[in-house]
Amino acid sequence: MEILFNPILLLLATAKDVLPVLGLLVVFQTLVLKRPIPRPGRIIFGFGAVLVGMACFLGGLDLAIFPVGRAMALQLVEGALSGEKVIWTAYGWVYLFAFLVGFSTTIAEPSLIAVANKAHEASRKAISSWGLRIAVAIGVSIGITLGTFRIVTGTPLYLYIMAGYVVVVIQTIFAPRMIIPLAYDSGGVTTSTVTVPLVAALGLGLASNVPGRSPVMDGFGLIAFASLFPIISVLGYAQLVQWSVQRRSRKKIESEAKP
């Protein structure tokens, strides 16, 4: 077996991503606001934890989830091949795998966990952190599944995206006002460190293995799907919650009116 995990290189790469941000914050705090750094011990310690955590996380992803997912995507396409002709119904396992991978990676996404906790706090506990995470995860999994279907069939990307935008615009009119910014944000939040490499591997693997598809032209678009569909599902979740609350209060009024 090979050891791909190089902790020092990974720490350096992570530091390159995180340190400019820390530098920026420190420069603004000391030079522009001319204030001392509040609790510098905490901040340095927290940043250290973020660095080590992210490095471990990415290393673990490279070591475990990434190769297994990639190998499986390949094996699943091989199972569905039937000569040169592409029959989209033969790719059932691919869709199921895409759906499940989208769901499980989103549930484990650190950014989403952080934002869901922030939303829970900011809404004074009205929005459940778990409910939000599940709604986003369902959106991502439907999005990625549709995206793999698009790669298999080779239909134009912009048609799907436009249809999605139209749905979002219609939902925006009817959804409760307070959830709208959060729903729009959830689209961007999901597609980061865990989801991007896994989804990119899936898209490129599919596009290079399905006959008649080119990886460079058809492999893109999965991330766009994964960003668009959570908006729809979070808005839908909010509408469902609103509807059930209204129905319950209407029933309450009716039962109070009867006797």
Partner 1 sequence: MQGTLNHEYGKTIPVVFRSQKIRGIFNALWLQYLIMPLAILTEFSAALGRALLGASRDLAPIITIIALFQVLVLQQPFPELFSILAGLGLVIVGLALFVVGLDIGLFPLGETLAEEFALKGSLFWLLFFAFLLGTGTTVAEPALIAVTREGAKAVAAAELIENSAASIDRYALGVRLTVALSVGAAIVLGVLRILRGWSLPVLIIGGYTLVMLMTFFAPKEIVGLAYDLGGVTTSTVTVPLVTALGVGLARTIRGRDPLTDGFGLIALASLMPMIFVMLFGLIVH
* Four-CA torsion 84, 89, 91, 95, nearest 10 degrees: 150
Backbone angles phi, psi at 167, to 5 degrees: -60, -45
Between 146 and 175, how does the x/- string for binding to partner 1 read (CB under 8 A)? -----------xx--xx--x--xx--x---
Closest contact distance (angstroms) between CB of 181 and partner 1 is 4
N residues, the chain:
259
- Whole-angstrom Cα distance, residue 93 to residue 76? 7
Closest contact distance (angstroms) between CB of 155 and partner 1 is 12
Closest contact distance (angstroms) between CB of 44 and partner 1 is 7
Q: Is 242 in the site for partner 1 (CB under 8 A)?
A: no
Please name the amino acid found at residue 228. Answer: L
Pull the structure tokens for residue 173: 């009119």
In the region spanning residues 215 to 234, those forming contacts with partner 1, defined by CB under 8 A, are 216-217, 219-224, 226-227
Nearer Cβ to partner 1 (25/252): 25
Q: Is 76 in the site for partner 1 (CB under 8 A)?
A: yes
- Whole-angstrom Cα distance, residue 147 to residue 235? 20
Nearer Cβ to partner 1 (126/252): 126
Between 90 and 129, how does the x/- string for binding to partner 1 read (CB under 8 A)? ---x---x--xx-xxx-xx-xx-xxx--xx--xx---x--
* Structural contact between residues 137 and 107, judged by C-beta atoms closer than 8 angstroms: yes
First to last CA, the chain: 75
**Alpha carbon of 185 to those of 135, 137, 250: distances in Å?**
13, 14, 32
Q: Is 49 in the site for partner 1 (CB under 8 A)?
A: yes
Q: How many residues bind partner 1 (CB under 8 A)?
A: 108
Q: Which of 30, 75, 244, 249 binds partner 1 (CB under 8 A)?
A: 75
Q: Is 57 in the site for partner 1 (CB under 8 A)?
A: yes
Closest contact distance (angstroms) between CB of 188 and partner 1 is 4
Pull the structure tokens for residue 154: 């080779």
Stretch that binds partner 1, among 81-89, 190-198, 236-244, 250-258 (CB under 8 A): 190-198
